[in-house]
Amino acid sequence: MDGHEMPPAVPPRRKLKKSDQQQQQSTHHAASNGLPPTPQVHMGACFLKVFNGCPLHINCTASWVHPETRDQYIFIGANEGLYTLNLNEIHESTMDLVHARRCVWLYVIKDILMSLSGRTTYLYRHDLMTLHARQTSRFSLSMNKIPEKLVPRRLQVTTKVSDTKGCTMCCVGKNTYNGYRYLCGALASGVILMQWYEPLRKFMLLKTFETDQMPAQLPVFEMFILPELEYPLVCYGVQRGHDDNHVKFDLLNLNNLADWFTDVDPTAEYLPVVNITQIQKDTVLVCYDQYVKVFSLNGRLKSSRRRQAKLHFDCVIVSLVTLQDSVLAFHKHGMQGRSFRANEVTQEICDKTRIFRLLGSDRIICIESRPTADPTADSSLYVLAGHENTY
């Protein structure tokens, strides 16, 4: 975002037609060149190795399919920088450096990669089509030698987003009721709200909320989308309720300039939340300890014919992936999937000789593995296959 550009006017609200949603889904599932498809069957999940002996200290991953070649890429955000791995060329066992700055968060939208990078973190925008055109064209070698600061902004592969200095966390959500996609960033001084603007293919700043009420260390930072509100709510904490069937969400209302925050009890006890996912307009999954619970936005345990209100796992959950009808809970030595309907085990992978860690799950679920006997050894990278698509 350029400093002199004005935020775009908010377009009128619109609701996507069912045909549009189906078209988007069919486009999303278009064939790609990379790993072969694995049958999605009961208990059919498996880890497929895509890289061996990785020395990087990885923080996050994201995936992208080149719209012309259909090659499938995994972007790897690490302390050592931002790297890319072509799944159609995994036999070469090589990664390419994209950005030589520490990277802690990634998100792909419309052939654009957004990242949180740098010692002093900023939000960055990376043009993936331009990036890969330079990597494959012999005529671009001279351009690659020019310092990035001297390259015209419109030709730069990577640009720093203004007004995002010190951004520590980001979340992205799509309002399915009007079709717009929003990005929120947590700064030391408050929160920024941005909206994806398709003509410029970038997120544009809509609002800045300056406040000192939010904690310095945010346990969670996720959006809730409501049909009656233009902008999202941001959840930044979950308090224990008066019993196990209730919680209280700490929310920032980006629609209300007069009263942004819900009431916060300074003596409240907070849940050690691993994951929060909104799956319906008034339904939120909260994962902590050994539980995945379903709550309404008012914080009351919520069950239905299709979905149990509580799933219990035999191990402490380290990270969670939400699927259409089930969840995948990752623990130290593997993963277990359970269905919402019957709380039955749908997938099970466990290997006590390995330590596993979920790296990302936007389109491809990427996992890191190290030997239990040598947890500081170089890691192996895997993708999870044979499961349903993420929620």
The separation between CA 69 and the C-alpha centre of its own chain, rounded to angstroms, equals: 25
Q: Which of the two residues, 175 and 214, has the higher pLDDT score?
A: 175
pLDDT-based confidence at 208, cuts 50/70/90? very high
Check residues 155 and 114 and name the one with the higher pLDDT: 114
- pLDDT at residue 132 in the model: 83
Q: Mark residue 246 as left, alpha or beta (left: phi above 0; alpha: psi -120 to 50; beta: remaining).
A: beta
> Residue 355 contacts by C-beta under 8 Å, 6 or more apart in sequence?
332, 333, 369, 370, 371, 372, 375
Output the average pLDDT for the chain. Answer: 85
pLDDT of residue 119 exceeding 50: yes
CA dist 245 and 76 (Å) reads 38
The mean pLDDT value for 289-307 works out to 93
Q: What region does 201 belong to: left with phi over 0, alpha with psi -120 to 50, or beta?
A: left
Report d(CA 342, CA 299) in Å as an integer: 23
Q: Which of 24, 104, 106 is nearest to 73 (CA)?
A: 106
Instruction: Supply the DSSP string of 70-98, one letter for each residue.
Output: -BEEEEEEETTEEEEEEGGGGGG---EEE
CA-CA distance, 384 to 359, in Å (whole number)? 11
Q: By the 8 A CB rule, do 62 and 21 touch? A: no
Q: Is the pLDDT of residue 8 over 80?
A: no
From the list 316, 341, 315, the residue with the least C-alpha distance to 326 is 341
pLDDT tens-digit series, residues 10-49: 444 444 454 444 444 444 445 666 665 554 555 567 899 9
- Residue 313 has a pLDDT of 95
pLDDT tens-digit readout, 228-280: 899 999 999 999 999 999 999 999 999 976 666 666 677 789 999 999 999 99
* Overall size of the chain counted in residues: 391
Q: What is the mean pLDDT of residues 82-104?
A: 92
Pairwise pLDDT comparison (10 vs 382), residue with the higher score: 382
Identify the pLDDT of residue 144.
45
Distance CA 58, CA 104 (A): 8
Domain borders along the chain are 57-164, 165-271, 275-391
pLDDT above 70 as % of the chain = 80
The H or E element that residue 263 is part of is: none
Cα–Cα distance for residue pair 84/108, rounded to 1 Å? 13
Sign of CA dihedral 131, 133, 136, 142: negative
